[in-house]
Amino acid sequence: MIRENESGLDSLLLSWNLRNIVPKPSALLPGEFCIDGVAPGEYPIDAWRPYYLEVPVGGRKKDIVGRTSSAFGVCLPNTEWNPRRTVRLPMFSQGGEIGPEILRQVIRSWSECTITEDIPCLAVAVKASGTYSEDRQAQTISVLMVCSDAVCRIVTLDWTEGPLEDCITPEWCVQTTTLLNLHNARREMEKLHRHPFREGAVYSIYTLPPCLGQVLRGGPFEASYKFWNLEWRYTGHPELISDLTLILSKIQSLFMNEGGD
């Protein structure tokens, strides 16, 4: 995870080292739990291109080029993603169900399988999908990333189909919190999803590693997103909140006596 004082060069060197030094696969618990490598993190979004887990300078980045690309002769440049500020996520493989004690062991041994503790060891993504004017699609996704020292960050993507006739160019906005302790990160996630998204919205929870979601009740269903291959789905907001409380409580319990309280 990008820390506040990390320079662009440090981030670039870090990503190169992780791609080339971390063994593939690296057995955290042989036969049960492995990390197959790391890659730039992505949101589990339904879109024609990936949206990366970037920590933008100033905490916010947006792109509204679709609103003015052909109106009044105004042409705005596309907002570019910054790979040096994109959070890398681990790519896990596992066999069978993984209990809490194994997850605690993974957290404790995290520094032994990566060259930096800035790579999150756990992550939870919550997505709300619905429609607005003329059945155009809207999605909001928040991703809680937790490092092995219980330092957290939340990044959020708000995405809507373009307002012009062709709907090709979407509008989006990315925001990030500062670094948070686990208690404050939980409160922030609960605050973000306190209210229903839109009438008729569908909600989803994704976890990294997937076994983290074993306590959830809305699935799981297979998903085809990079990193996020299991989805817990909800058609009611109260059910989402109930399961979100469950998964956040589980994460806190994994960090008991590890600095997470």
As a whole number of angstroms, the distance between CA 172 and CA 185 comes to 23
Angstrom distances, CA of residue 59 to CA of 76, 84, 99: 21, 15, 35
pLDDT, residue 189, reads 97
pLDDT, residue 156, reads 97
As a whole number of angstroms, the distance between CA 28 and CA 235 comes to 36
pLDDT, residue 53, reads 96
Q: Where are the domains of the chain?
A: 8-254
Residue 260 has pLDDT above 70, yes or no: no
Contact criterion met (CB below 8 Å) for 132 and 102: no
Residue indicated by tokens 């989805």: 231
Q: Once rounded to an integer, what is the mean pLDDT over residues 193-200?
A: 92
Q: Once rounded to an integer, what is the mean pLDDT over residues 10-16?
A: 42
Torsion of CA 251, 89, 41, 229, to 10 degrees: -70
Residue 237 has pLDDT above 70, yes or no: yes
pTM for the structure as a whole: 0.83
Angstrom distances, CA of residue 142 to CA of 131, 185, 204: 18, 12, 11
Residue 1 has pLDDT above 80, yes or no: no
Which candidate, 157, 159, 92, 158, places its Cα nearest to that of 123?
Answer: 92
Residue indicated by tokens 């820390």: 3
pLDDT, residue 66, reads 52
Contact criterion met (CB below 8 Å) for 219 and 233: yes
pLDDT digits (tens, 9 = 90+) for 205-215: 999 999 899 99
pLDDT, residue 99, reads 81
Residue 63 has pLDDT above 70, yes or no: yes
pLDDT, residue 105, reads 86
Residue 44 has pLDDT above 60, yes or no: yes
Task: Write down the mean pLDDT value for the chain.
Answer: 81
CA 211 from centroid of its chain's CA atoms = 16
Q: Once rounded to an integer, what is the mean pLDDT over residues 188-209?
A: 94
Choose the weakest-confidence range: 28-32, 102-106, 111-115, 235-239: 28-32
DSSP the chain: ---TT--HHHHHHHHHHHHHHS-SSEEEETTTEEEEEEEE-B----SSS--B-B--GGGEEEE-HHHHSSGGG--PPPPPP-GGGBPEEEEEEE-S---HHHHHHHHHTHHHHSS-TTS-SEEEEEEEEEE-GGG-EEEEEEEEEE-TTS-EEEEEEEEE--SSTT--S-EEEEEE---B-HHHHHHHHHHHTSS--STT-EEEEEEESGGGGGG--S--EE--SSS--EEEEESSHHHHHHHHHHHHHHHHHHTTTTT--
pLDDT, residue 14, reads 41
